[in-house]
Amino acid sequence: MSVKEWSKEERPRERVEALGVEAVSNAELLAILIGSGTSKRSSVELMRDLLCGSDDSLRILATKTLKELQTYNGIGPAKAITIQAAMELGKRLMRESRERITFMKASDMYEYLRTHMLDMQHEECHVMLLDAKNQLISRKRVSSGGISESVADIRLILREALIAGAVSIVFAHNHPSGNPSPSRQDDSLTQRLGEACRVVNIKLLDHIIIGDNIYYSYYEQGKI
């Protein structure tokens, strides 16, 4: 049965019109985006299958590649791209809503950084450039590496900070393993970066390691 054959109260678009967008399920919202199902399954049923395969988690769904999305019956390239576009818009909205946040503690920084760095399958290093009020000037990705490590160029980090006129910085990288415990290399980099920042009168506020819904803060651990 197609969506058009459902009663008006059951159709996702009509439900949004009658009840508001907040009242419908994730599957119904995705069904509205992809527009149609197959001859045997409605768009809502397709999206329920997709969400079921993602443990009913939009976060997990957002990590699926185009190829992985197309392994589901009824989802071709066009629908897969539409789904990915919706997930990316959600991520960008989260980032935009935090752009003017003032960072007062490590958990604030983690909540911002996780929207950029969570669920990556490779390691990346980012630097947050802050003004005198600890407000974000900008965030820069300064390196991207493999599964186990990436190499951060301290000169590049300082260059970005000086160009932006930053008073302080927060360095961050992710551990794809999900375990945020620092390595000896992480400890060495933190020490060298702190020393370099002092030379140019920029403060290294923290080095945060992003894990799987958990983080490690050098500041909180008394190592900065």
Give Cα separations from 187 to 57, 164, 183 (angstroms): 34, 26, 6
What pLDDT was estimated at residue 149?
Answer: 46
DSSP 219: T
Contact 152, 125 (CB under 8 A): yes
Which of 14-18, 50-54, 218-222 is the least confident region? 14-18
Mean pLDDT of 77-102: 82
Q: With 70 as the cut, is the pLDDT of residue 100 above it?
A: no
Looking at this protein, which amino acid is placed at residue 40?
K
- Quote the pTM value: 0.56
Sheet containing strand 124-130, edge to edge, reads 136-144, 124-130, 168-174, 203-210, 215-217
Where on the phi/psi map is residue 25: left (φ > 0), alpha (ψ -120 to 50), or beta? beta
Q: What is the mean pLDDT of residues 88-94?
A: 83
Q: Report helix, strand or coil for 147.
A: coil
Kindly report the average pLDDT of the chain as a whole number: 87
pLDDT at position 48, please?
93
CB 122 within 8 A of CB 98: no
Burial bucket for residue 101 (CB in 10 Å: 0-12, 13-18, 19+)? middle
Give pLDDT, residue 96.
64
Q: What is the pLDDT of residues 180-207, one digit of tens each?
A: 999 999 999 999 999 999 999 999 999 9
